[in-house]
């Protein structure tokens, strides 16, 4: 514990050392963050202020959008600030807090995506029992399970990292605090800890991804005899979810399913699940979903009507 206290501040090397590239990245990520905030807030408001919140799929989507918004907010504002700063630093305490919160919210997102897949499976494969199986009590239980599972996952990652001794270099070759870059800085043998991280993050993500893919294979098998119109509607709903799953899980698996080594490409892959996926999720779920589009239109028309009435 004394060795650990030798490092009180970490230096983040960020995405690039070229100032021109950093300015371009700042403009791009500013646009992305604005889009993330507007898109996810629009979904949250549209679902909360309409009858859609009574439907399990939108109940989960509401939580997914909130999770996306919080998840990217733990990284993106700090990243943008660092892009304009001469010295990119983060205190030891803030680094550990960022690691814990990121894995907590990332875990919640993974489990919510699993809950949404289960909802689609029941809706398509067991439509007659859907309202009974996916009752509000069951949906609340799934959300509680998501938060509980994510907390256990995040607490495990946090405990594996918090007791590491840091006594030498303090430069993190990343734009945020994560387990693998921190393991490289620890002045102890981290091989066993690295295996525990793989078992915790990598295997969890892989198992979840496999379960999700199996559920969609079962759905595709079930809808084969359906009429073309019903099959198209089911595929449209599921394709949105599959796109979100692939955008989030592929980069996560690339980073966490291998031994404790880091590559320069890790930063690019991390951008996909920290910024790109949260930005595209609202577009994917609204552009391919008629109910969501209708709800948003009604909400904004109602808002414009109220504003016009007040001005009159």
**Helix axes 56-73 and 136-162, enclosed angle (nearest 10):** 20
**pTM given for the model:** 0.87
State how far the Cα of 124 lies from the Cα of 136, in Å rounded to an integer.
18
User: CB 287: neighbour CB atoms within 10 A?
Assistant: 10
Average pLDDT of every residue of the chain: 85
Q: What is the three-class DSSP state of 171?
A: strand
**Which residue's structure tokens are 């939580």?**
63
pLDDT tens by residue, 242-267: 888 888 888 898 888 877 677 777 88
Cα atoms in the 13 Å half-sphere on the side-chain side of 258: 11
pLDDT tens by residue, 60-111: 999 999 999 999 999 999 999 999 988 889 999 999 999 999 999 999 999 9
Cα atoms in the 13 Å half-sphere on the side-chain side of 190: 23
What does DSSP say about strands 171-172 and 9-12: parallel, antiparallel, or unpaired?
A: parallel
At 193, the pLDDT band (50, 70, 90 cuts) reads: confident
At 4, the pLDDT band (50, 70, 90 cuts) reads: very low
8 A C-beta contact, residue 123 and residue 57: yes
Residue 78, pLDDT score: 93
Question: Counting beta carbons within 10 angstroms of the beta carbon of residue 220, is it exposed (0 to 12), middle (13 to 18) or buried (19 or more)?
Answer: middle
Residue 305, pLDDT score: 53
């Amino acid at each position: 514990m004394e060795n650990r206290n030798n490092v009180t501040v970490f230096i983040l090397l960020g995405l690039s050392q070229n100032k021109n590239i950093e300015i371009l990245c700042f403009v791009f990520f500013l646009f992305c963050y604005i889009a993330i905030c507007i898109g996810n807030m629009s979904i949250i408001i549209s679902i909360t202020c309409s009858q859609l919140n009574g439907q399990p799929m939108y109940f989960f989507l509401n939580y997914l959008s909130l999770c996306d918004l919080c998840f990217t907010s733990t990284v993106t504002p700090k990243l943008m600030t660092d892009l304009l700063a001469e010295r990119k630093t983060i205190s030891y305490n803030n680094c550990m807090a960022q690691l814990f919160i990121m894995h907590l919210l990332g875990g919640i997102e993974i489990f919510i995506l699993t809950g949404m897949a289960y909802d689609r499976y029941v809706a398509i494969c067991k439509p007659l029992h859907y309202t009974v199986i996916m009752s509000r009590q069951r949906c609340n239980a799934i959300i509680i399970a998501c938060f509980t599972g994510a907390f256990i996952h995040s607490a495990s990652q946090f405990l594996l990292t918090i007791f590491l001794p840091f006594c030498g270099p303090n430069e993190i070759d990343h734009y945020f605090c994560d387990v693998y870059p921190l393991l490289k800085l620890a002045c102890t043998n981290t091989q066993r800890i690295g295996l525990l991280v793989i078992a915790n993050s990598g295997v969890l993500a892989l198992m979840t991804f496999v379960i999700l893919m199996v559920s969609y294979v079962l759905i595709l098998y079930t809808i084969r005899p359906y009429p073309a119109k019903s099959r198209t509607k089911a595929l449209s709903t599921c394709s949105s979810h599959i796109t979100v799953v692939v955008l989030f899980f592929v980069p996560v698996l690339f980073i966490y399913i291998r031994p404790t080594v880091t590559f320069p490409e890790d930063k690019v892959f991390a951008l996909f699940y920290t910024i790109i996926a949260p930005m595209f999720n609202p577009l994917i779920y609204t552009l391919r979903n008629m109910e969501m589009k209708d709800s948003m239109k009604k909400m904004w028309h109602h808002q414009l009507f109220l504003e016009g009435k007040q001005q009159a």
